[in-house]
Amino acid sequence: MIFVKFEEEENMKNQKTASLLTAAAMLLSAGGTVLCALPAAPVYAETSEGGLVYNNRNGRVAITGFTDDLPAEVVIPAEIEGTAVTEIKSSAFRDCTVMTSVSIPQGVTDIGYEAFCGCTALESITIPAGVKYIWQNAFLGCTALTSASIPDGLENLGDAAFSGCTALAEVTAPDQISAIGSAVFADTAWLAAKQEEDPLVCLSNTILDGTACVGDVTIPDGVTAIGDSAFRGNEELTSVTLPASVRSINSRAFLGCTALESVAIAAETESMIIKIDSFSGCTALTSMTFPKGVHTISNGALAECTSLKSVSIYNPDCVCPSFLPDPAPEGLVIYGYADSTAQTLAAENNLTFEELGNAHVTGDLNGDRTLDVRDAVLFIRFTAEDASVLGLFSEFADFDEADFNNDGVLNLLDVCIMLNMIAEA
């Protein structure tokens, strides 16, 4: 679950604040006499107009509910009493069986948790550009809804946002959405049709669903994320190959894929995060290799992978807390570089550690395993025959490694190539 937003969120905060103040007042009391007065928790008055219930919080109007005189065709105004409407609150229209269409105005940024959940007569929605968040279960169970257009600029599409919209047959979405939750379109006509076309269902460069895939699967180039629970419980998936374009393997993506024997992450991957429980319960997986571009392996990523024999981590600075099975399978070996986080991981878990060798970065003249402007400064000084630099860094710097064009000469041409590589990094 990625995105959860509750209707009572503000009230809970206010109640917590009031409770803390009450406790503080009791501590400051003497002989039953309270020594300080408690400020009242802020209360936001709700008003109704045209079938809509709303409140005004600090100059922002939020739609919070509806009344019995709500029309079938709902047009939410851009402003109420001269103040912009910015949010449809959690459960605002939940189980409204009168509404057949709703038009949401420009200026709204949030469609809250279960905002339109169970609106079984809702056939049409207009979601404007500018909406940033569609929270969990926002349109869950809108069984009459036939189409959905996800606007440009949407950042988060919450878990099960359109799940159970059984008549939903048409979905349009931008090329990129920053985060997409799990089961967003579960039990929709759209998802069923997509699975008939290709069991690997992709939307906005994210793999939404691969539960119908069988055997060996190659993720297409250009995909940037494997979605939450995308392959979860697929017991017929045997191998998966990921291109360098993938930046995130999301939570529980391959959880419980008990036949999965092989995972190949492209060596050219530049930046990737492996999220919580992503391969948990993949009991047939015997080895896992994380290339240098994998910068984070989150908790439980390989939990309950009971057949695991080896894990190789090529990023010496990879953030890798407790992602291994607990207890670790007998004979598990961690491979990594000396003085790396992989070595620390092995030591903390009493596992065998094997060195991969020295981490090699072409042009790394100061030995910090990174090519950056500091190496360029050293190189420029070297080409100027600064003997003091040679003396200072001769212990670990291999200036021959800076011969980028392999012409046997270290000169300003190599410096230019180095600077271009740093700029493009």
Q: Express each pLDDT in 373-424 by its tens digit.
A: 777 776 776 655 544 444 444 333 445 567 777 776 777 787 788 888 888 7
State which residues of the chain have pLDDT below 70: 1-44, 358-361, 364-370, 378, 381-401, 408, 425
What residues contact 393, with CB distance under 8 A and at least 6 apart?
Answer: 365, 366, 367, 378
- Whether residue 334 contacts residue 352, with contact meaning beta carbons closer than 8 Å, is answered with yes
Per-residue pLDDT at 371: 75
CA distances from 78 to 90, 111, 238, 413 (A): 19, 14, 51, 59
- Partnered with residue 335 across adjacent β-strands are 312, 354
Helix/strand/coil percent split, the chain, to 5: 15, 25, 60
Per-residue pLDDT at 412: 74
What residues contact 348, with CB distance under 8 A and at least 6 apart?
Answer: none
CA distances from 310 to 243, 283, 345 (A): 22, 14, 13
Token pair in block for residue 158: 């919450």
Per-residue pLDDT at 390: 42
Which pTM does this prediction carry? 0.74
Angle between the 412-424 and 373-383 helix axes, to the nearest 10 degrees?
180
Per-residue pLDDT at 375: 74
Token pair in block for residue 112: 């809250």
- What are the structural domains of the chain? 1-29+39-197 (3.80.10.10), 204-359 (3.80.10.10), 373-424 (no CATH)
- Taking the C-alpha atoms of residue 153 and residue 108, their distance in angstroms, rounded to an integer, is 12
Stated as kind and residue range, the H or E segment containing 342 is helix 341-348
| pLDDT tens, position by position, 52-103 | 999 998 889 999 999 999 999 999 999 998 999 999 999 999 999 999 999 9
Per-residue pLDDT at 413: 80
Of 175, 184, 93, 96, the C-alpha closest to 134 is 184
